[in-house]
Amino acid sequence: MITSMDRLTSSSSALNRLETFLNNLTLDAERYSESEEKGDQVTLITTHSCKGLEFPHVFLVGVEDGLLPHSHSRAEGTMEEERRLFYVAITRAMKSLVLSICKARKRYGKMVPCHPSPFLSEIPKELIEHLDEAASQPVAQEVGQSRFGSIKAAIQ
């Protein structure tokens, strides 16, 4: 089968490197065997597959009402299961835990406001450290381009 990537000749080596890089990423931590050397690495997993695992640093993104708990959970009566998944996810952190939310998301081409997950109100206030206002502002376009340029250079 010929794919669109096969048709691109001028940037085929860059595409090959990118394809190799992406093939080495995993969304399922269970693919790694216990014998593999552990080092600096990023593991992307869902809250459903993190049970039993621990990580030095955990970043849980999208801790917003409608995502966690999922919007269907109220109607389906699965709020307790969603709460359990949240608990499992936050207890995977050994050293640090970062929970992130956004003020708005683009859905179906329109910006819609987001609200924090109701589960956040169940965390004791003394355990929460809020970022200052400057840190919560979007990154300037030039800074973002520079950061992605560094990533691009690293995989070439």
The model's pLDDT over 1-22, given as tens digits with 9 standing for 90+, comes to 444 444 444 456 777 777 777 7
93-119 per-position pLDDT tens digit? 888 888 888 888 888 989 999 999 999
Beta strands in the chain, from DSSP E residues, in sequence order: 55-61, 93-100, 104-107, 110-113
Nearest one of 77, 75, 62, 76 to 119, comparing CA atoms: 62
Decide if 69 contacts 83 (C-beta within 8 A): yes
* Per-residue pLDDT band at 133 (split at 50, 70, 90): low
33-88 per-position pLDDT tens digit? 554 556 677 888 888 888 778 888 889 998 999 998 998 998 899 999 999 999 98
d(CA 22, CA 14): 12
C-alpha pair distances (Å), 155 with each of 37, 111, 137: 21, 33, 28
d(CA 108, CA 7): 31
For the ranges 76-85, 127-136, 137-146, 147-156, the one whose mean pLDDT is highest: 76-85
Other Cβ atoms within 10 Å of 63 Cβ, number: 20
